[in-house]
Structure 1
């Protein structure tokens, strides 16, 4: 598809979001010492905790993240990039109640990333948990809902990808809140709940750029 300038910027924002988040997670985790950071046992939030000490009554663990500002800044950048991508491709992906509801829920999820970044778990646990709920609760419902976009919309072209991402994310959410690691640890399961949205957005942006030219009329696609 020959994306217009706004659409191209939105796609670029989506392409950048997942790498920013993943690279920051890796780099920040590598700075941990005694104990080292584990993607299987530690939560994502542990990377952003400001203070050192034993954390979490459910799964007590010692948390000390020297580069927490890097993680929190990257999480905030992820929120901005995902939100910008959504808003700049808002009309391009389609219209109708299903599409708009999905986009709204996903936009709320970007607010969750911002809350999680601005309010680390050991600074304001309530707002941090609210952010997690927006990401893993409302956001993942929105992702699944996007998989049911009407067949006339551009979003429907990638129904299988979207449904797979939404179902995976919701399954990860249920298992994470049930504290079931299922072989990858509770921390690993949290990533199954959190990562599908930014990874889906990254894939969708690439697919948008590679889509053959079509006539798009306010989100209704008619192949040439």
Structure 2
């Protein structure tokens, strides 16, 4: 897709958001000692907890994350990248109530990342839970809603991807809320609920930022001052050869 510079920056922000979040999760988790961090057992929030100690009455576990500043900083960066990506691609994705409602809910989800990182669960649990609700609740509803964007819009071109991501995210949210791990652990189920939005944004970022094919560039080349598009020039030349004029 041939984007403006602003749109391309937005697409690149989306592309970067997921790697920032996943790399920080991996590195921060590797710094855990006794216990080691488990993506199946521990929540994502455990990586950002400030204090060491027993945590959570529903699933009691010992949490101690020495590099929590890295995780919280990276989560804020993810929030900024997702939000900037949404704002800079706002008009590109299309118009209409469905598109705008989906974009608004996803923007709230991006804010949820910042809220959850700014208020770790062991510092202010209420605000942290609110951030999680914005991500897994409103954000995942927005992601599913984006799958119903009109087919004539840019967002509508990615309907199959978007609907799949939205359905997976909402099922993951429901199972996580019910504390059901289904073989991957409750922590693993939380990732099923949280990751579809940034992964979806990353896929769209890759697709939107991809340079247009040379053929499309030729077809869109200026024709003023007698300069024909490359494809048109080649067509005319072939026609003249066919008439023995070459």
TM range (shorter): over 0.9
> Where does structure 1 lack aligned partners over 5 or more consecutive residues?
215-224
Question: What corresponds to 1:79 in structure 2?
Answer: 79
Superposed, 1:24-43 pairs within 5 Å as: 24-43=24-43
Q: Is the 8 A contact 2:18 2:78 kept in 1?
A: yes
1:23 and 2:23 matched: yes
TM-score w.r.t. the length of structure 1 is: 0.94
Question: What corresponds to 2:186 in structure 1?
Answer: 186
Query: Where does structure 1 differ by over 6 angstroms across 4 or more consecutive aligned residues?
Result: none
**For 2:132, what is the secondary structure of its paired residue?**
helix
Spell out, residue by residue over 1:121-173, the C-alpha distance to the aligned partner (whole angstroms, 9 max, x if none). Answer: 00000000000000000000000000000011011111000000000000000
Higher-Rg structure is 2
Q: Aligned-pair distance for 1:209? A: 2.6
**For 1:171, what is the secondary structure of its paired residue?**
helix
**For 2:206, what is the secondary structure of its paired residue?**
helix
Aligned length: 214
Superposed, 1:200-211 pairs within 5 Å as: 200-210=200-210
Question: What corresponds to 2:93 in structure 1?
Answer: 93
> Where does structure 2 lack aligned partners over 5 or more consecutive residues?
218-246
Q: Is the 8 A contact 2:44 2:187 kept in 1?
A: yes
The separation in 2 between residues aligned to 1:199 and 1:85, in whole angstroms, is 13
Q: Is the 8 A contact 2:8 2:208 kept in 1?
A: no
TM-score w.r.t. the length of structure 2 is: 0.86
The separation in 2 between residues aligned to 1:2 and 1:133, in whole angstroms, is 36
